Amino acid sequence: MVLDLNIFILYLYSGQKNVTNVIIMKYKDFIFMERYTFQHKMAFLRVEHQLLGHNTIRGYLHDADKLLYLYPIAYIFGKDKKWVQQKHRAHNRHHVENKLSKTYNDYVEMVIDWECARYTKPDKQLSAYETMKKFYPFMEPHLLPIMKKFGLVR
């Protein structure tokens, strides 16, 4: 029922002459977000393996919440990419934006996440070190030793 209402509202405001076109547009956005996140996840696993010498359970589960339930919920209830991003960042310790306590492994995941972003995200072309310096200099005491260990400091 909620999906039908969302599609009807999108139909009214989209200027499309056919409700099927609106459904296809919405589905294409959903598929794009899923593909974007999956490509990022694969890059994460490659970088994790390069830096650690192996993949971890944490790596395999990286961003799984987006793929398994946040994107489907967003699709069904008409939420946008920003909603998914806010929910994901609020509940995952590898993101700086939340107040969750962080472990060493959370910081490692954060560094790997930043390092691999430039391989799949055209809007995020900085290395992990550059990202830390530009956006999160207050994280340096936690992250710099990890980055030095992995040889990511330039």
pTM of this prediction? Answer: 0.81
**pLDDT tens, position by position, for the chain (154 residues)?**
445 555 554 444 445 455 555 555 577 788 888 888 999 999 999 999 999 999 999 999 999 999 998 988 888 887 888 999 999 999 999 999 999 999 999 999 999 999 999 998 888 889 999 999 999 999 999 999 999 999 999 7
Helix (H), strand (E), coil (C) string for the chain = CHHHHHHHHHHHHHCCCCHHHHHHHHHHHHHHHHHHHHHHHHHHHHHHHHHHCCCCHHHHHCCHHHHHHHHHHHHHHCCCHHHHHHHHHHHCCCCCCCCCCCCHHHHHHHHHHHHHHHHHCCCCCCCHHHHHHHHCHHHHHHHHHHHHHCCCCC
Q: Print the domain residue range for 110.
A: 2-149
Domain-located, residue 132: yes
* Residue 154 domain flag: no
Q: How many domains does the chain have?
A: 1
Residue 77 is assigned to a structural domain of this protein: yes
Is the residue at 119 inside a domain? yes
